[in-house]
Amino acid sequence: MKYAKNILETIGNTPLVKLNRLTADLPCMVLAKYETFNPGNSVKDRMALQMIEDAEEKGLLKPGGTIVEGTSGNTGMGLAMAATVKGYKLICVISDKQSKEKIDILKAMGSEVYVCPTDVSPEDPRSYYSTAKRLAKEIQGAWYANQYDNLSNTKAHFSSTGPEIWEQTDGKITHFVSGVGTGGTISGVGSYLKSKNPDIKIWGIDTYGSVFKKYHETGIFDKNEIYPYITEGIGEDILPKNVNFEIIDGFTKVTDKDAAVYTQRLAREEAMFLGNSAGAAIKGVLQLKEHFTKDDVVVVLFHDHGSRYVGKMFNDEWMREKGFIDES
């Protein structure tokens, strides 16, 4: 009989899927690394499990302990699965810009959830960064996962996602494109791919309101770049240790409107029911058209599932309220 001993053994080995309609005007082949096939429906399952296993090995997380993490939702879901299987308690701290669906799913998975304001600085004691750190200190036996600076995040993608993409493309990949939030995915995948072929280009997708693109191009952390934005899962107002800027060849920024509209278009034109960052990622690929030739194989990573955004990007009333679509 063929079966997994528990749900954690089903993480990884996600498929590559060719895009057809949205990429028809590009000269190259575009393949999506379709991470919603992970059991928690996102790429974050990989690094959530890696962080926990590494913490166990180092003695930082002991039997019956409590995991605390600041999350936009997906990492929390990966941690929730692993916590249930391994017998830990989980506390997730999330910002109030995240969808209600994410909060509800985290609770359904057994997590305790704290919701914090988005429009405050990272240093503000009300921010989800500060709240997570405070709870981890206050709770006896707690371990703060810290996906932003915990390099087990990058390690997970160097050891699994990167090799999968290399093998699935038979080494023919020329460009890798991914949204950048904590930085673990693009840094881990990018490091692995460049170790196999240094000529592979690594492109990051950023959003307006985030510091990444300007910092990469100038080395300046410009606080004037920071303002609230709607796009979920990418961009930051901090510089996580998992973002390896030396691995990334360039960034392109995608507007909130384009990210939302292309999230809908992926569903309606490619039958790909995906999250908000996928809309940003595919629009970013289209913006990079001039960098591609007919012989190129471009892999774009799609992070999570559309079910977490039915009250937002897949709700036309919400889209109209934000000015993303007109009455027609």
* Number of other residues whose CB lies within 10 A of the CB of residue 290: 7
Contact between 276 and 260 under an 8 Å Cβ cutoff? The reply is yes
Alpha-carbon distance of 68 to 297, in angstroms, equals 39
Least Cα distance to 83 among 60, 105, 53 occurs for 53
Per-position b or e across 209-234, b if 16+ CB within 10 A of its CB:
bbbbbbbbeeeeeeeebbeebbbbbb
Least Cα distance to 313 among 244, 230, 250 occurs for 230
Annotated catalytic residue within 5, 18, 33, 44: 44
Query: Euclidean distance between the first and final Cα of the chain, in Å?
Result: 54
Q: Would residue 44 show up in a list of annotated catalytic residues for this protein?
A: yes
Quote the tokens at residue 189: 């995948």
Beta-strand pair 297-302/175-179: parallel
Alpha-carbon distance of 300 to 317, in angstroms, equals 29
Alpha-carbon distance of 98 to 278, in angstroms, equals 16
Query: Crossing angle of helices 256-270/276-287, nearest 10°?
Result: 100
Alpha-carbon distance of 318 to 196, in angstroms, equals 44
List all residues 6 or more positions away from 13 whose beta carbon is below 8 Å from its beta carbon.
Answer: 164
Alpha-carbon distance of 269 to 267, in angstroms, equals 6
Handedness of CA 93, 205, 246, 215 (dihedral sign): negative
Helix and strand numbers (H, E) in the chain are 11, 10
Please give the positions annotated as active site.
44
